[in-house]
Structure 1
């Protein structure tokens, strides 16, 4: 992780944790980095049913940017699922099969967007996000996204940089490794990842995975049944 990006993420998370402390002092649950502590997005009543068609939604301009990465993009689809994720997060890895099943079940009917949200406590989460972004720029987003979760047990939780491991993934995918390394290490890519993180913080994201269906916050670690019900409500609406 670059020094500047590290400072940026550190300041943002410090602000988030400070806000959580104030909430805790008022007798409510404090903010954590676990998915069980997902807050409601900006403007949403945390007690409102997330799957209700009339529930308030998070701001669309923060959920999906022009440069956001789509795993699935369907023209004129009425439903967009957005996941803020950390490739080093074990909960995200556990959620991965659910998201893949949703993609299969709703193939050709919904949009699926991923947003990078590397938690500062994970040494290799930001480099992993940068590697996925670098692969995306060579049209290998889906392949690198899946590879990160499939191999997380091999490189996750390391205190040493795993950048060379990620370069190895690029080689396995027959990418231009010189271009891959340049993109992964470039300030523009680091800023791209930081921008996703900042949007997540603005939406109230504090842990991963955090998932929205048409801007409505899903429960923590939503099951296939829960996500299907939310998606179906939007498709039928």
Structure 2
């Protein structure tokens, strides 16, 4: 029976004048023929499917990159304008020409990958760059939201201690599995733990995190990290060269 089905299929597919409609009609009437061919050639089938999946993924990535490039070109002319104030500045100088706004999640692996890149950019442009850290704790990272509250509670005490806490969490992200670890990092950063315990549940701290999340969503962002460089968005973990390109394009001195 299988041979008869395959011969029937071959007779249709082998005809020089066969149309797409004829092929489609045959397969609709004889769907089992497709499964018979797959069953007889499983390795080839898997190879074809995987190749098609890779091609689809590459096409999707190229499309996303193209769309992102267009968005960046538009944002260079019309920069995004997040709410910024000196009270939220984590590092750098207030009058710096380069403003970096980092939307991140302390438990996000891609955010941890971005961390050393941002640190390098800050070091290379010391005296001419300022950094703002904004929160977007994702629901499937259970320690991200508590870490955000601890960060803001420490920030209320001292900016330098908050910066140290920020570094410690990203540099030791694999150990970020419970609140005890967050407390350990807060102590290591030099925070007054009694004040932290009081402030993490305060309305002020809770609203800072909530407002950051709301701003992130209103800007149409969907995943962390997002790095705004002078109002131009870079999505995901990006190499330093990409940040450098945006800096160069947005700090051109007028002729």
TM-score (norm 1): 0.72
The alpha-carbon deviation at position 67 of structure 1 amounts to 6.6
CA distance in 2, matches of 1:122, 1:54: 33
Q: Which has the higher helix share?
A: 2
Runs of 4+ with deviation above 3 angstroms: 51-55
Structure of higher RCO (CA pairs closer than 8 Å, 6+ residues apart): 1
Indicate the residue corresponding to 1:193 in structure 2: 209
Q: Which one of the candidate residues 96, 103, 106 is aligned to 2:125?
A: 106
Q: Unpaired segments of 5 or more residues in structure 2?
A: 1-60
CA distance in 2, matches of 1:176, 1:85: 25
| Contact residue 228 and residue 234 of structure 2 kept, 8 A | yes
Give the paired residue count.
188
Give SS of 2:170's match: helix
CA distance in 1, matches of 2:180, 2:86: 26
CA distance in 1, matches of 2:230, 2:128: 13
| Contact residue 176 and residue 182 of structure 2 kept, 8 A | no
Give the RMSD, CA atoms, in angstroms. 2.4
The superposition leaves residues 165-223 of structure 1 with CA deviations (integer Å, 9 ceiling, x where unpaired) of 22222222332111011112223212211111001101111100001111111253221
Q: Which one of the candidate residues 156, 162, 167 is aligned to 1:141?
A: 162
Give SS of 1:48's match: helix
Q: Which one of the candidate residues 152, 157, 182 is aligned to 2:198?
A: 182
| Contact residue 84 and residue 200 of structure 1 kept, 8 A | yes
Indicate the residue corresponding to 1:120 in structure 2: 139
TM-score (norm 2): 0.67
| Contact residue 102 and residue 224 of structure 1 kept, 8 A | yes
Change (3 A) 1:48 1:68: farther
Give SS of 2:106's match: coil
The alpha-carbon deviation at position 164 of structure 1 amounts to 2.5
The structure with the larger Rg is 2
